[in-house]
């Protein structure tokens, strides 16, 4: 990508010229690159990736911070912003904690995604109900993606994915964050839900 100053003898340029080049602002700079026709193959694997990202995104949306209108930042938000590596947003960091577990050699593995859903679905009745109840209390809802993985992803499963992201990012060295999420009991799930919306 070429970086330009005063492209076309102007202060700024935006848009494309024919189907050849595109001018646009990027990170505060004016840049120009070859025009590429956007593609959206809507492949099965792409559908799985988008379903996984949507599930994690819906859970991240429930994490309360002052910037989202909360009176105080929630514990999960505070822990995430303290642990996030430089150059990465806190929400991307939390999502990455789960989504990274679905990859092998930087390639998304659909079986890994369904494995996590299978583990969630096979939790004992009490723990399963706790995930569902807490997700509903947060205002989360089930959804089904239009292609790829089209089976309903329950609200509790979305919250479960977020907990996996927190666990794999080692947000806190104390319970429940230092324990594999599949072994969390009702008390752990309740703590996690509270930590998403409130401070200590």
The domain spans of the chain are: 2-34, 44-197
Within 84-200, where are the H helices?
A: 90-99, 110-121, 125-137, 155-168, 186-197
Q: What is the C-alpha separation between 113 and 132, in angstroms, rounded?
A: 19
Return the pLDDT at 28: 80
**pLDDT (mean) for 52-71:** 90
- The band of 66, judged by pLDDT with boundaries at 50, 70 and 90, is confident
CB 32 within 8 A of CB 2: yes
Nearest alpha carbon to residue 31 among 46, 19, 43, 13:
13
Query: Is pTM beyond 0.85 here?
Result: no
The predicted model gives 94-102 an average pLDDT of 94
pLDDT at 71 over 90: no
pLDDT tier at 9 (50, 70, 90 boundaries)? Answer: low
> In 3D, which of 82, 86, 66 has the Cα closest to residue 74?
66
Is residue 118 over pLDDT 90? yes
């Amino acid at each position: 990508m070429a970086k330009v100053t005063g492209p076309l003898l102007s202060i700024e340029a935006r848009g494309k010229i024919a189907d050849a080049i595109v001018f646009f602002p990027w990170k505060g700079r004016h840049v120009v690159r070859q025009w590429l026709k956007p593609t959206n193959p809507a492949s099965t694997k792409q559908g799985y990736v988008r379903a996984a990202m949507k599930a994690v995104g819906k859970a991240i949306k429930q994490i309360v911070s002052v910037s989202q209108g909360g009176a105080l930042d929630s514990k999960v938000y505070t822990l995430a912003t303290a642990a996030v590596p430089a150059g990465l947003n806190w929400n991307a960091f939390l999502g990455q904690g789960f989504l990274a577990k679905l990859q092998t050699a930087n390639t998304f593995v659909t079986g890994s995604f369904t494995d996590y859903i299978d583990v969630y679905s096979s939790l004992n009745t009490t723990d399963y109900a706790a995930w569902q109840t807490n997700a509903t209390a947060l205002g989360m809802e089930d959804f089904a993606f239009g292609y790829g993985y089209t089976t309903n992803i329950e609200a509790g499963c979305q919250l479960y994915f977020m907990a996996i992201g927190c666990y794999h990012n080692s947000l806190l060295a104390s319970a429940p964050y230092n324990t594999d999420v599949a072994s969390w009991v009702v008390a752990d799930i309740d703590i996690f839900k509270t930590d998403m919306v409130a401070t200590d």
